[in-house]
Amino acid sequence: MSHANLDEVKSYLLNLQDRLCQGLAAEDGGADFREETWQREAGGGGRSRVIERGRVFEKGGVNFSHVHGDRLPPSATAARPQLAGRGFHAVGVSWVLHPENPHVPTSHGNVRFFIAEKEGEPPVWWFGGGFDLTPYYPVHEDVLHWHRVARDACAPFGCEVYPRFKGWCDEYFYLRHRDETRGVGGLFFDDFNEWDFEASFAFQRAVGDAFLEAYLPIVRRRRDTPWGEREREFQLYRRGRYVEFNLVWDRGTLFGLQSGGRTESILMSMPPLARWEYGWTPEPGSAEEVLYREYLRPRDWLGDSAD
């Protein structure tokens, strides 16, 4: 694996960051992304972009990073212990959007590429990424749209790809200590090098390029839905679950912290406000109860809809 491949992926990711920021800022219409560049003392750096207090997005970020070093962090070798001790390059773009209106879902995505190197041995490479949706007041047609776009992005690579990575997403974004999914899922893949480089890279591009098509129509449909204190309080309560997942279970957060990345950029994924309440349960028959009963569990959305 030559570094020409790394450069090719890096070029795509920088362009993807630009396109995501342009599309999201245009949809917001009231704020733009501000940019900070940073350097990692042990090697590499990144380009962080954050939007705040917009018409749609209370907070959001789209971050690019390229870090490298002499030894892979433990989170990167958990599934590949044979790679422990290798030098590495890790390049990726990650994004998180926290809208102000509780009827607009939070969303997250990332695409990344690793090369692990050891003198005298061929380099080992793999891709990872995906996107997922976390609604507070879900609308069934929005969830179907989200999964249709995910399915269509996977379709050129085989009919088994969407159900496989949809299922992986359900398993990964699962709060085991709460016995609930973080949201309604999407796609997730990691440690992926089953295909050759060109096919694997094409799949990563298909996932990254599909995000705006999946997310922006939902934003447009829900951004002007009226809301009040009740909806806001529930949104902040459910944001607490988002924080719990990122700090307890998320491999990307652990990798960033273990690799000495920029903490401010790593924790960009956190919402600006969240709340916790002891022993809270939704009122029977309420919209909040519908979320718990029908949406916070793995489900074959497109199969259920006969799509």
pLDDT at 69: 82
Q: Is residue 306 part of a domain?
A: no
Q: Give kind and range of the element (H or E) at residue 20.
A: helix 3-28
pLDDT at 1: 42
* Residue span of the structural domain in which 57 resides: 1-295
pLDDT at 122: 81
CATH of the domain at 165: 3.40.1500.10
* Average pLDDT across the chain, whole number: 91
Q: Is residue 300 part of a domain?
A: no
Instruction: Tell the residue number behind the tokens 């705006």, with chain if given.
Output: 212
pLDDT band at 123, cuts 50/70/90? confident
69-78, 111-120, 186-195, 243-252: the lowest-pLDDT one: 69-78
CA pair distance 23, 97, nearest whole angstrom: 13
Q: Is residue 52 part of a domain?
A: yes
CA pair distance 114, 125, nearest whole angstrom: 5
Domain count, the chain: 1
pLDDT at 87: 82
Exposure b/e, 151-172, CB count within 10 A at least 16 = b: bebbeebeeebbeebbebbbeb
Instruction: Find out whether 112 is annotated in a ligand binding site.
Output: yes
Q: Is residue 301 part of a domain?
A: no
Q: Is residue 70 part of a domain?
A: yes
| Token reading at 2 | 């030559």
Other CB atoms within 10 Å distance of the CB of residue 106: 25
The arithmetic mean of pLDDT across residues 30-37, rounded, is: 96
Instruction: Find out whether 94 is annotated in a ligand binding site.
Output: yes
Gap between the terminal Cα atoms of the chain: 40
The arithmetic mean of pLDDT across residues 291-296, rounded, is: 97
| Token reading at 175 | 């709060």
Instruction: Find out whether 260 is annotated in a ligand binding site.
Output: yes
Instruction: Find out whether 140 is annotated in a ligand binding site.
Output: no
CA pair distance 143, 165, nearest whole angstrom: 16
Q: Is 182 left (phi over 0), alpha (psi -120 to 50) or beta?
A: alpha
Instruction: Find out whether 89 is annotated in a ligand binding site.
Output: no
Residue 262: partners with Cβ closer than 8 Å, 6 or more residues away: 38, 40, 46, 48, 65
pLDDT band at 68, cuts 50/70/90? confident
Determine which one of 66, 108, 140, 145 is catalytic: 108
pLDDT at 256: 72
108 among known catalytic residues: yes
Work out the angle at residue 185's Cα, subtended by the Cα atoms of residues 180 and 190, and round it to the nearest 5 degrees.
Answer: 105
Report residue 98: phi and psi, to 5°: -115, 95
117 forms bridges with which residues in the sheet?
Answer: 87
Q: Give kind and range of the element (H or E) at residue 113.
A: strand 106-118
